[in-house]
Amino acid sequence: MSEAAARAAALRAEIARHDHLYYVRDDPEVPDAEYDRLMLELRTLERDHPELVSPDSPTQRVAGGPSGDFAPVQHVVPMLSLDNAFTDAAVEDFDRRVREPLVFAHRDVPVERDDLDERGWIAGRRCEDR
């Protein structure tokens, strides 16, 4: 087994372990940034060595499933993802992509970033004229 194949296998196993801790046990061991670093390393390995890509790779599927603790919600407008935004510029780009299609008067309201924590952040905002 090549060094790249061994590293890819080790990353898949480590990511699977973290997925179980996060999605099944709700007891993550690492911050999201560390998990994202592992995924980025695996994506890079698979990009550089396409023969290492496999259907069971975490890069080829969505991790975890929906929690049974919450009722399904149909969003009027699809939720967008930060998709591993590690820099202020990436967060600002996401903010721009969210705001561009908005046609209401308050599109210059600043996005607060102090709600971020090591487990991540999600927000939905619905604005209506009344």
Q: Look up the pTM and report it.
A: 0.61
pLDDT band at 130 (very low <50, low <70, confident <90, very high): low
118 pLDDT higher than 50: no
The half-sphere exposure of 81 on its side-chain side, counting CA atoms within 13 A, is 2
**pLDDT tens, residue by residue, 70-101:** 777 777 766 666 767 777 888 888 878 777 76
Burial (CB count within 10 angstroms: exposed 0-12, middle 13-18, buried 19+), residue 2:
exposed
**pLDDT tens, residue by residue, 20-46:** 998 888 899 999 889 989 999 999 999
What is the topology classification, in CATH, of domain 3-60? Helix Hairpins (1.10.287)
Segments making up each domain of the chain, as ranges: 3-60, 73-130
